[in-house]
A and B are shown apart, each in its own frame.
Chain A
């Protein structure tokens, strides 16, 4: 053999400590994966649902019909957001581990934190785009119905004041730009749920277990104050109980805080500053959960 002729290869170049582009590469690959799993077909189902609800209505008045349409739309948006956040996150990471794809990713110069952040970002991009599209679909549907009802009302004839009153009622129950804040609230909630699910999936090895526990956390998080109040009433309020309660309050995110979106859908005003507050709260939850996940994930052996 011509061993002498072979020169060993030169050392590789240095790599940055943290790289947003690596996170983004993993996020985009997650988006591709979810898109190619045909996730976006869900949007078709959503459009169909709205068409059915919008046209087959048993409501007694146009205002009521619009209100139903809104409740169904935003209920579906909210359900999609949190359920998708849990299921997608719980399926993706364990699958990477099982298929040993994670070995090949982590044996490249990729930090484990970058991997986790990338997965989270990918899921959130898909949810964000889906919610935006859903919001546009339901806005078009609401405006279309609203315009139709108003035209009917004006063509119907009657006293001027009555028509004006009906039109006002329809407008009040119709489209408002504040509805976008409701969709945004669903998005923030989904982001927190996704982070909780990532944390769980770094401990648990089974997707099903992760999904079930995440849903439980989500439901308990909705009864946050109820659960803590009840607890305080039935126990002796000893030091130990209070400690457990504190931990519970920190570990289980308070999803009730996000329910201001329901008020917006039913017509309440949007308190100023609330969106900023919720955004910061969500960011805080994300930082905490990703940080704990990272502690669990950094030393994990596969």
Chain B
């Protein structure tokens, strides 16, 4: 029997709001599966039911109808909890603890202690790149650092599945890049990742499959490339192409029945890419300046 990492069947979640018979259907007959070893993204605007779905999968909430399973275990089962690492949306951890103390606390909750715990904490701090901030209290962490310590916290017991609620929301482009690189690293190490986001473009490069959720219902699901590619069109980016070459290509296209050039021009970098380039260049400059100082 092949076991799915997450299996959600006909999940419905209704919230009573206020007094009387008012209610909100946050999740409406939702079904999907996350296979072991893949990165699955649940994408949809704010209020579409992503966080609610995750909370039901985690057993923090009960389903109104339907069921959620994690590696074949009912999500309310405490045993399922040791298989899952969770990073909530905009998490806050105890501000009075340092980064290392935070990881120790969560490690102890998972029954790890002694030398093993110490080694695991050091390893996680290295993975998320917070060794230098390990002895600082979280009260002084930036948003990006909090997300990373949160990610480290979720991995502490070496779970099989990591659930990330809006991991890149509110983090600047460089920090968000780092988090996405971490997610890719997790995938390489064999973790199953189930994440959600309202920012399509931020997660599209890390997800193997996405489900698009809107008003609590699954609207589209599948491999990302398949969902977004425009079947009939092909893009081609050339470097150092002479005007003659371009004329030749145009001629070739014109000679083919039914084919046409839709758009030509210079590709633009995205603002985000530009920003990351600038930041990377700056940090390289700094590093080389420091080296010079050391040398002199």
Name the distance in Å between A139's Cβ and chain B's nearest Cβ: 32
Max chain A C-beta neighbours (<10 A), residue from B81, B94, B96, B109 = B109
Interface flag for A302 (CB, 8 Å):
yes
A302 touching B60 in the complex, CB below 8 Å, given contacts A6-B187, A6-B188, A103-B86: yes
Interface flag for B44 (CB, 8 Å):
no
Interface flag for A36 (CB, 8 Å):
yes
Which of B58, B78, B105 makes the CB contact (< 8 A) with A29? Answer: B105
B-facing mask of A47-85, CB < 8 A → 1, else 0? 000000000000000000000000000000000000000
- Which of A10-18, A255-263, A269-277 contacts the other chain? A10-18
Interface flag for A161 (CB, 8 Å):
no
List B contacts of A15 (CB < 8 A).
78-79, 81-82, 111
Number of A residues, CB within 8 Å of B:
37
B110 contacts A109, CB within 8 Å?
Answer: yes
Q: List 7 A-B contacts (CB under 8 A).
A: A21-B108, A29-B97, A32-B97, A103-B58, A104-B91, A107-B85, A110-B81
A-facing mask of B31-57, CB < 8 A → 1, else 0? 000001100000000000000000100
A110 contacts B71, CB within 8 Å?
Answer: no
A37 contacts B96, CB within 8 Å?
Answer: yes
B-facing residues in A1-55 (Cβ within 8 Å):
3, 6-16, 19, 21-22, 25-26, 29, 32-33, 36-37
B153 contacts A104, CB within 8 Å?
Answer: yes
Residue of B nearest to A1 (CB): B208
Interface flag for B160 (CB, 8 Å):
yes
Interface flag for A236 (CB, 8 Å):
no
A108 contacts B109, CB within 8 Å?
Answer: yes
Interface flag for B159 (CB, 8 Å):
yes
B-facing mask of A207-223, CB < 8 A → 1, else 0? 00000000000000000
B81 contacts A108, CB within 8 Å?
Answer: yes
**Complex formed: what's the CA distance from A25 to B87 in Å?**
20
List A contacts of B83 (CB < 8 A).
11-12
**Complex formed: what's the CA distance from A12 to B157 in Å?**
8
Interface flag for B192 (CB, 8 Å):
yes
Interface flag for B141 (CB, 8 Å):
no
Pairs A-B, 9 closest by C-beta atoms? A99-B92, A107-B86, A36-B96, A8-B36, A25-B108, A109-B81, A108-B109, A12-B82, A109-B82
A25 touching B105 in the complex, CB below 8 Å, given contacts A100-B91, A109-B81: yes
Name the distance in Å between B241's Cβ and chain A's nearest Cβ: 30
**Complex formed: what's the CA distance from A16 to B160 in Å?**
19
**Complex formed: what's the CA distance from A6 to B82 in Å?**
21
**Complex formed: what's the CA distance from A110 to B86 in Å?**
13
B60 contacts A301, CB within 8 Å?
Answer: yes
List B contacts of A251 (CB < 8 A).
none
Which of A11, A13, A100, A109 makes the CB contact (< 8 A) with B78? Answer: A109
**Complex formed: what's the CA distance from A260 to B111 in Å?**
43
A109 contacts B192, CB within 8 Å?
Answer: no
**Complex formed: what's the CA distance from A7 to B37 in Å?**
7
Interface flag for B90 (CB, 8 Å):
yes
A32 touching B96 in the complex, CB below 8 Å, given contacts A11-B160, A15-B79, A109-B79: yes
A residues near B (Cβ < 8 Å) are 3, 6-16, 19, 21-22, 25-26, 29, 32-33, 36-37, 99-101, 103-111, 299, 301-302
Name the distance in Å between B153's Cβ and chain A's nearest Cβ: 6
Interface flag for B121 (CB, 8 Å):
no
Interface flag for B158 (CB, 8 Å):
yes
List B contacts of A3 (CB < 8 A).
37
A108 contacts B106, CB within 8 Å?
Answer: yes
Residue of B nearest to A15 (CB): B82
**Complex formed: what's the CA distance from A6 to B192 in Å?**
11
Interface flag for B190 (CB, 8 Å):
yes
Interface flag for B144 (CB, 8 Å):
no
B150 contacts A8, CB within 8 Å?
Answer: no
Which of A7, A32, A108 makes the CB contact (< 8 A) with B157? Answer: A108
4 more CB-based (< 8 A) A-B contacts, given A6-B187, A22-B109, A302-B55: A6-B37, A103-B60, A107-B86, A108-B157
B192 contacts A105, CB within 8 Å?
Answer: no
List B contacts of A100 (CB < 8 A).
88-92
A-facing residues in B177-227 (Cβ within 8 Å):
187-192
**Complex formed: what's the CA distance from A22 to B111 in Å?**
7
Residue of A nearest to B15 (CB): A301
B93 contacts A104, CB within 8 Å?
Answer: yes
Interface flag for B145 (CB, 8 Å):
no
**Complex formed: what's the CA distance from A11 to B84 in Å?**
11
Interface flag for B249 (CB, 8 Å):
no
**Complex formed: what's the CA distance from A109 to B93 in Å?**
17
